Amino acid sequence: MESTPDGHPVRESASFRDAHAALGHPDRIDEALSAVLWGCHCAPEEFPVIEGLKTLRLAKTSAVLMDDGSVVAALRVVLHIISDHHQTVELLYIEAIEQEA
C-alpha cells in the first residue's frame, strides 16, 4: 500500500497478509477496508488503544453490502503506529467479526 506525502505510510505485516488471504475475496475485503485504510493514512491515533496493550489499536468496519448483493462481514483490524520518522502504520491482523445470533 502506498500513501501520499501528507499522510502516514501504511504497510501490511505478514500475519495481516496471511489472515487477509484466509478471508477470501481479497478485492471485496479491500473495498470493505477502504475507510479503515483512509483513517490509518490520515489520523491513526484516533483508533482506540486496546486495553492493556498500549501500543496496539483496534479498527472495525461494519458489514458492507456489495453491488452484486453479497455481504462482506464486519471486520476487526489490529494495528500499531511505529515511532519512526514517518509515523508508519502497520496493519498486524484482520478477522471477520462473527455476527451475534
The pTM (predicted TM-score) of the whole model is 0.86
Cβ(20)–Cβ(14) under 8 Å? Answer: no
In a domain, 64, yes or no: yes
Note down the domain range covering 57: 10-96
In a domain, 68, yes or no: yes
- For residues 52 and 43, give the distance between their C-alpha atoms in angstroms, rounded to a whole number: 22
**What are the tens digits of pLDDT across the range 21-65?**
999 999 999 999 999 999 999 999 999 999 998 899 999 999 989
- Tally of domains in the chain: 1
In a domain, 40, yes or no: yes
Residue 12 amino acid letter? E
In a domain, 2, yes or no: no
- For residues 57 and 47, give the distance between their C-alpha atoms in angstroms, rounded to a whole number: 6
In a domain, 35, yes or no: yes
Give residue 85's pLDDT band: very low, low, confident or very high (50, 70, 90): confident
